[in-house]
Amino acid sequence: MLMLLKLLKDGRFHSGEALGAALGVSRSAVWKQLQHLEAELGLPIHKVRGRGYQLAAPLVFLSSEQISTNAASLTWPVHIFDSIDSTNAEALRLVDSGCEAPFVVLAEQQTAGRGRRGRKWVSPFAQNVYYSLVLRIEGGLRQLEGLSLVVGLAVMQALRESGVQGAALKWPNDVLVGRKKISGILLELVGDPADICHVVLGIGINVNMQKADDVDQQWTSMQLETGSAIDRNQLVARLGGQLQSYLDRHKAEGFAGLQDEWEQHHLWQGKPVSLVAGVTQIDGVVLGVDHQGALRLDVDGIEKIYSGGELSLRLRDDS
């Protein structure tokens, strides 16, 4: 089925006869594969009598060669998959099998993409970026402090470089445009954080997605924001460059060296919010973050600090 998709990726019309000849199958077999492409990958295909079949829009596949061309200074090995459960899960499997970090895992599609707090990450084929960078961490917990916030800065800058000027941050690890989510970050750790461990920096970016019925929150994509399709290979290269730069700064200075910059780009700085943990809700006003990346809230005139992976921050209705 993917071979058929690669024949159609140029966005031009191809006859059923020509496609069948290229694949060594009958025209009826081509028709069945086209139906599967539409049903399983959600890719609309135009069917015109006398002309053949055409993807509604051309596709550019992820390519390690193209990524390397656009980011010559990066030396991270890149593993690209057509379809896997999730890039974070595959990254953890590669760590278990002895793959040496750092390395990157990319996929055209995730069948079980994950967000924070167990949420599903909608992952249509060849439309977005599903990216996991694996790092080996030695020397203790300081290198993990505020790490998800640092990754958010890198993602935000890559988006802005690519034309999404309104990209900004939401604590702890979302990138928004206005109130609409354009990117999410999920960090997972394996090993002993006090000694030697591996951390997976999982990043999902809505790139060329224009429709998604299964998303349960406000969202946008780079194409919706800029009005034109985005080259995902160039975006991955920009993201890698920004990650390298911010991770180097974080290693040298800790999160304290990036705290002010992060607060400058926090959309909800100074805003009234509700912090939700399970059935508990805490209302306050965002003061910023501390040197470890924890949230600082003014709660009834008293500054309080909150951190943890199961917290959810929401704007209050009166904001």
* Cα 108 to Cα 126: distance, rounded to the nearest angstrom: 5
Task: Name the active-site residue from 6, 47, 120, 314.
Answer: 314
* Residue 86 annotated as lining a ligand binding site: yes
Terminal Cα-to-Cα distance of the chain (whole angstroms)? 49
> 87: annotated binding-site residue?
yes
What DSSP element (H or E) covers 43?
A: none
114 is an annotated ligand-binding site residue: yes
88 is in an annotated binding site: yes
Residue from 116, 170, 232, 238 carrying the catalytic annotation: 116
To the query of whether residue 238 is one of the catalytic residues in this protein, the response is no
Give the list of residues 6+ apart from residue 306 with CB closer than 8 angstroms, or none.
275, 282, 294, 295, 297
Tell me how far apart the alpha carbons of residues 264 and 162 are, in angstroms, rounded to a whole number. 20
Rg (CA), the chain: 21
Residue 132: strand pairing partners: 105, 202
Is residue 181 flagged as an active site residue? Answer: yes
The tally of CA atoms less than 13 A away on the side-chain side of residue 116 is 19
Please, what is the Cα angle at 47 between 45 and 52, to 5 degrees?
A: 110
Q: Is 110 annotated as a binding residue?
A: yes
Q: Which two tokens stand for residue 122?
A: 């909608």
Of the residues 170, 181, 232, 238, which is catalytic?
181
Is 314 catalytic? The answer is: yes
Return the number of other C-beta atoms located less than 10 Å from residue 241's C-beta: 18
The answer to whether 181 is annotated as binding is yes
Residues with catalytic roles: 116, 181, 314
List binding-site positions for biotin.
86-88, 110, 114-116, 181
Binding-site residue numbers are 86-88, 110, 114-116, 181
